[in-house]
A and B are shown apart, each in its own frame.
Chain A
Amino acid sequence: AQSVTQPDIHITVSEGASLELRCNYSYGATPYLFWYVQSPGQGLQLLLKYFSGDTLVQGIKGFEAEFKRSQSSFNLRKPSVHWSDAAEYFCAVGMIKAAGNKLTFGGGTRVLVKP
């Protein structure tokens, strides 16, 4: 079965510093990969997605992610963090086989931004 691991439960970063959130997946075929962001008490918003092609994907709010097949990773990055980036971030993998099409989510990484 496929799985998604986000090794960092919490990350604290200073405003203006760079941010990288890790995501590793276990899946037998080429994955469909997503990053979502969730503000407290809210739903999830899609930041970016990777289906195929260029392995460096640009998203909204200045985020980007890089798909590395050899490392089974899809890490999210932002060069300069703003206080409004404090939220929880979820990586997800989509599978196109099995009973229906669905996403498997990682456990999430909560980002705290220091002034």
Chain B
Amino acid sequence: DGGITQSPKYLFRKEGQNVTLSCEQNLNHDAMYWYRQDPGQGLRLIYYSQIVNDFQKGDIAEGYSVSREKKESFPLTVTSAQKNPTAFYLCASSIGGVNEQFFGPGTRLTVL
């Protein structure tokens, strides 16, 4: 089955630790995205990548980093510089351009 996988579903970390969230897609999509979702705030774009080895900052990139070394993978690192990292993180992909985005099931990160 084609789709997007995110792992793990739940992640707990201590304050001050970096943590990496996984996102893999087998849809052969060029573009990939990371969003953060907080209650009542909708989705906010963290980073996006339109092609391998290239990515751009979204609206709330501070405290986050990404890489896009392979077409199918777009991991997100939440660094200790992110002041309020506890949230639900969603990864998405699309064929590129302004087209529908396909979403993964999300990772809920809790920083203790």
Contacts A43-B105, A44-B103, A102-B33 given; does A96 touch B42 at CB 8 Å:
no
On chain A, the number of residues with a Cβ less than 8 Å from chain B's Cβ atoms is: 24
- Partner-contacting stretch, out of A12-20, A64-72, A73-81, A103-111: A103-111
A100 interface residue per 8 A CB criterion: yes
Chain B positions near chain A (C-beta within 8 angstroms): 4, 31, 33, 35, 40-43, 45, 48, 50, 56, 58, 88, 90, 92, 96-106, 108
Tell me which residues across on chain A come within 8 A of B33, comparing CB atoms. Answer: 102
Could you tell me if B106 and A43 are in contact, using CB atoms closer than 8 angstroms?
A: yes
Secondary structure of the A contact surface, majority rule? strand
How far does the Cβ of B55 sit from chain A's closest Cβ, in whole Å? 9
A26 interface residue per 8 A CB criterion: no
Contacts A41-B108, A42-B106, A43-B90 given; does A101 touch B43 at CB 8 Å:
no
Task: Report the number of A-B residue pairs with Cβ-Cβ less than 8 Å.
Answer: 57
The closest CB in chain A to the CB of B43 belongs to: A105
Could you tell me if A105 and B42 are in contact, using CB atoms closer than 8 angstroms?
A: yes
- Bitwise interface map of A from 48 to 87 toward B, beta carbon under 8 Å scored 1, else 0: 0100000000000000000000000000000000000000
Could you tell me if B42 and A108 are in contact, using CB atoms closer than 8 angstroms?
A: yes
Question: Of B41, B42, B45, B88, which contacts A102 at CB under 8 A?
Answer: B45
Could you tell me if B58 and A102 are in contact, using CB atoms closer than 8 angstroms?
A: yes
Contacts A43-B90, A101-B50 given; does A95 touch B106 at CB 8 Å:
no
> How far is B58's CA from A43's CA once the two chains are assembled, in angstroms?
19
> How far is B45's CA from A59's CA once the two chains are assembled, in angstroms?
25
> How far is B58's CA from A32's CA once the two chains are assembled, in angstroms?
19
Contacts A9-B40, A90-B43 given; does A100 touch B100 at CB 8 Å:
no
